[in-house]
Chains A and B, each alone.
Chain A
Amino acid sequence: MSKKSKNLEPNTGWDFDPAPEKVPVEIKAQYDLFIDGKWVKATSKKFFNTINPATEEKLSEISEASEKDVDLAVKAAAKAFGSWSKLPGKERAKYIYRIARILQERAREFAVLETMDGGKPIRESRDVDVPLAAAHFFYHAGWADKLEYAFPGLKPKPIGVAGQIIPWNFPLLMAAWKIAPAIACGNTVVLKPAETTSLTALRLAEVFEEAGLPPGVVNIITGAGSTGAALVNHPGIQKIAFTGSTEVGKVIRRSVAGSGKKLTLELGGKAANIVFEDAAIDQAVEGIVNGIYFNQGHVCCAGSRLFVQESVREEVLQKLKFRMRSLILGDPLDKNTDVGAINSAEQLKTIQHYLSLGKKEGLEMYQNAGGTPKKGFWCQPTLFEDVAQSSVIAQEEIFGPVLAIQTFRTIDEVIQKANNTPYGLSAGVWTDKGSKIFNLTSELKAGVVWANTYNKFDPTSPFGGYKESGFGREGGIHGLAAYLNLEG
């Protein structure tokens, strides 16, 4: 580590010129619901605003679907199920391949829209969200005519109408995660995006139109919690897939109990990211930053608990803080931006609440010194040092750019601490020793373990949690089981 000289200090004296992504994106003043292949007015006649969280400017008005609208959407999906489920798999595949291709062609438009509506840096929506969304459709398209090979000895049958509720952190990507396997397996869908981020899901409906997807196969209805509840409780739904908080996941599970509806839940997390003294420290620091500050920490699998072996604590902290100071926070549409806007005023309030709790506990807090734009919702990348296992900062999911740092001496100690949480979605391990990696990856109770890497996703790679992080997997051959009745 070089001495801290002023010249090497990042973000001092050298400002980047603005480099905004300039592809213009047309946004309608108002959006209707997409039901049965048509754009229909919500019977509630109610709209709510969707805003750009980086500027607080209103982008559009979104329809609030009522119980009646939900009913119409479910009926349309049920009607479409008859013919869609009987369509030969190879024909279903062609529609889904086409959707993937159109998404790739219109990728920039989707990236800009995603960034405007959700606040994430264009670098991420352009390089992660949109390409992965297209990849999910492409991957699952190919499964449509190969399902009988996926589960030896069992006969795969589509389930029926899938009600899908997705969160605001990866709006388009989550829609793709949910819709692609559902329709590849011959089901039809009613999808509800999160209320703060409806725009890319609605634009995805335009892609379905463009691809000629038969009416009713996918219906997109917008609204808040009550719309979601109406969807969950609708008797015409055979399958529910939800990604969101553990709290809401439990509510959904209770309301579905005994109904016979199939359920998959992808819920919260509080992942341990573990750095051993024999790790490649520079790479580990990149992994820590990517683990917690990617998408402003609005990631269920974020590496929000950092465990550093005591012997390298000083080095890791020094390098981590140096790296944090080089992160550029600001206009999400700027190609140089690393940290975008917090998704909503409400979420910012939640994060700030945790920051004040951490300070009240007397924890040492470190934040980037740089200011934040006057308008919009912002939180500088933050870390808390020497957090106790019992601290609320180490226990609860904050869903923001807030890292809780703990130290450890022995492997057994860190395994015990890492697993000491009701969650079990993901974990990270940094060491150059192969046998240690395999020991750790088998001991950590988490559905996804990244070794010497973090926050990597792929449609072929099953994703989902242990314990209170939910159940079922999305992606890969394992993810198909969630959308099929498998008869022995």
Chain B
Amino acid sequence: MEVAKTYKLYIGGKFPRTESGRTYQLKGPKGENIANLCQASRKDFRESVIPARKAQASWASKTAYNRSQVLYRLAEMLEGRKAQFVDELKQSGFSLLEAKKEVEDSLECLVHYAGWADKYQQIFSSVNPVASSHFNFSVCEPSGVVVATAPLSNPLHGLCFLVSVCLAGGNSLIVLASEKTPHVAISFAEVVHTSDVPGGLVNILTGFEDELVEHFASHMDVNAVIYARNNSKVSQKMELASADNMKRYFNWSDLEGKIKYSPYFIRDLQEVKTTWHPIERISSSGSGY
């Protein structure tokens, strides 16, 4: 007799059940039951913003080198559990070949973005030649707490992509897993949990976008929200609600079915900060202070 796994949520570095007590049955392609998944509630989401906020500040203060190594560590952990993910993807109707590719792509994604963590800053920063006696420079700073709906069709690769771009850039993440293949996301939470990712930095919810996205977009302590699926009505709803606290909104719908690699995704989740300081040039006419 096989021991079936209970899939729960991943919030604040712990695996709680949904506070709502609601579950839904995940079915395989032939209608067979795979597992009971938590149907995360608004409260679950709100509960995850708190640790995400806390974890983000200390994550942002880590060195870029350190962030890079933690992301790379995620790949190392995933590598050792490839077989499990292939099996779970197959349960959801992926062919063996497709499942293997999805896992390989996920690994590549993590390694790729691990390398960006200590590089994007140099690409997107500048020293600005102002016409006065000042030293002036612009750097990127993380947006903060990011909430995303993961693409439906790449349940693992899409999730790894969102985790990568957020973490590489010093942000924390709350992500709603693909509704079609959510159990893979919760298994990935185990990978996150056994890597060196601080608790609360990545939070993974399973459930339905209909009842959650507006809460994502209207939460006053969230800095950015990403919609990576291609329903324009849902997107508009989220964009509308984002105005409440002027959170940054990104419609990354073209990622559905086609994950892309570019540091500009990291760039989207950054704020540009410009700092001025006088240069005391005693000999020149321009004054210092």
Contact = CB atoms under 8 A, between A and B. Distances in A.
B274 A448 contact: yes
18 contacts: A151-B264, A250-B246, A257-B236, A257-B240, A257-B243, A437-B277, A447-B273, A452-B289, A453-B134, A458-B131, A460-B128, A460-B136, A461-B274, A462-B126, A462-B138, A467-B223, A478-B138, A488-B264
Interface in A464-487: 464, 466-471, 473, 476-478, 486
A209 interface: no
Given A280-B289, A468-B245, A478-B272, A458 B278 contact: no
B126 A467 contact: no
A448 B128 CA distance: 13
Interface in B125-145: 126, 128-132, 134, 136, 138, 141
A257 B264 contact: no
A448 B276 contact: yes
Contacts of B248: 471
Contacts, number: 114
Contact of A257 (B132, B239, B273): B239
Given A246-B246, A249-B246, A257-B239, A466 B262 contact: no
A71 interface: no
B82 interface: no
Interface in B233-289: 235-236, 239-240, 242-246, 248, 260, 262, 264, 271-278, 289
A265 B271 CA distance: 14
Interface string B131-175: 110101010010000000000000000000000000000000000
A211 B272 CA distance: 34
Interface of B: 123, 126, 128-132, 134, 136, 138, 141, 223, 232, 235-236, 239-240, 242-246, 248, 260, 262, 264, 271-278, 289
Contacts of A453: 134, 276-278, 289
A267 B246 contact: yes
Contacts of B130: 456, 458, 460-461
A97 to B, nearest CB: 16
A258 interface: yes
B104 to A, nearest CB: 22
B246 A461 contact: no
Given A153-B262, A246-B246, A458 B136 contact: yes
Given A447-B271, A458-B136, A478-B138, A452 B245 contact: no
B131 A476 contact: no
Nearest to B57: A443
Interface of A: 135, 151-154, 246, 249-250, 253-254, 257-258, 265, 267, 280, 283, 286-287, 422, 437, 441-442, 446-453, 456, 458, 460-464, 466-471, 473, 476-478, 486, 488
B246 A467 contact: yes
A473 B277 contact: no
Contacts of A467: 223, 245-246
B134 A254 contact: no
A462 B239 contact: no
User: Counting chain A CB atoms within 10 Å of each CB, which of B123, B128, B243, B274 scores highest?
Assistant: B274
Contacts of B275: 441, 448-451
Contact of A253 (B129, B246, B271, B276): B246
In the complex, which of the residues B130, B260, B276 has the most CB atoms of chain A within 10 Å of its own CB atom? B276
Contacts of B272: 447, 462, 464, 473, 478
B132 A458 contact: yes
Nearest to B273: A447
Given A154-B264, A253-B243, A461 B128 contact: yes
A328 to B, nearest CB: 21
